[in-house]
Structure 1
């Protein structure tokens, strides 16, 4: 089974305006309310690809109730950990003004609720895949992902980490199966200015040397590259298309890559075709960017076939 964890899920209020003027009342010309949170986005795209998975997430207040309802209505298996205080986030995104958005803080997660999650994860089995994606509330330590990885390695659980900064770096000693920084996050991690693709490859290999099995680097319109488990490098320009909404594109890339590594029973293949997994990940990420919502299976497969066959 594949599990995703989202500490800070959200409802994303996506709006478009004709013109945004500071200190004035601005009226939306379109709006839609969507599920948000990186782990839940990964679960959604996996579900769209026909891959069974379970979303584990925290939820608080009436917004948390709506998140839980929407996950259930979409048909994703879920294990919701309810919080008594606070509200799950509402993120406001003005999608036609260069990705302008305001993301909420999210509720505090008390230690006993963290313990509840850790107890759930002790039940994971060999060959399960665990995907840790996204931010954490400010009340939590940046060791929480590494605390989780400290529980699961003895069970041969394959772990995917899509996070930034110390939250990511703290997991590397546990040798996660996949990490997915973008090129800007590489700059932040290594405190450098990256000028060319060769440098991106070099710093991705450094992350692999630090413990990651596979390092998938997204580069927005410049495509992506993968330093695979055997240090072979795969790279590709972005598929051709018009970007409509880039929110969730990186999460879709993670879902597509993982999907490309799975057998018919939902476990990881013994012999992974990393080129195929890489291309499917990039196709999924791009297909979501070319859509107003997260990509469907047909959108992903059509783009894959158009780009690589």
Structure 2
């Protein structure tokens, strides 16, 4: 297998309140990550879709029922304006009024439209999926494999977006060190992650550790915050861990973060951190996707790697 030429874009959007909003585009599929769609990011999402040549989103992927990930009124607007053909929503029962209302809106969307595919990401759903191929182009859903009845954050969805020329790992609000230990042991995480969306916005809660970073070795870490950053995302202890492990940190405090494939779209990418509310660039970086290094190898080398590493479930 050789690496495919796929125009790929990832964007982290600055919001006007605490929360997360991202998108991942590869080829012709535009996935919106988290149910946030407000004055702060609506125009940026529209610009991003225009840059990618799409007028609808292929998937709305929601990792948590918490309002900073999934606002009912904003979910309603996403469904009305962007018309996703697939929705992946958290498989645990919402425990907040906003989460319950968001679930009702998604359920109504399914009833009123014949085409959307609506998926509740539960342990049973993940178990039903086929095994993922090594260094391939199928997205992988890793978690939840179990449900935590005491801490809903640990029921967040963890997914790796692998369909483009570079890979993005989304970790929702996960907090457990045990879950981190499981995830870092999976081959498609510890060999392929280029961009890591930080768990729980970069909180110092036990998930993000030196051992996790040493094993996964992401090139970039993305933490979301609004301009005020009242929750100090990510925490200083986490910033120090990232620096120690040579992981470049980009945050949306200063503006949107854009990662886009360049050249022949076979693995090289550039990162642009915009200034808040403008198209001016505050920082810039270029890098190379990990899977590009392996897909250039010969077939025997790839077969050897497949035989000696675990694979995860794919979607």
TM-score (norm 1): 0.40
**Greater relative CO (CA pairs within 8 A, separation 6+):** 2
**Structure with the larger helix share:** 1
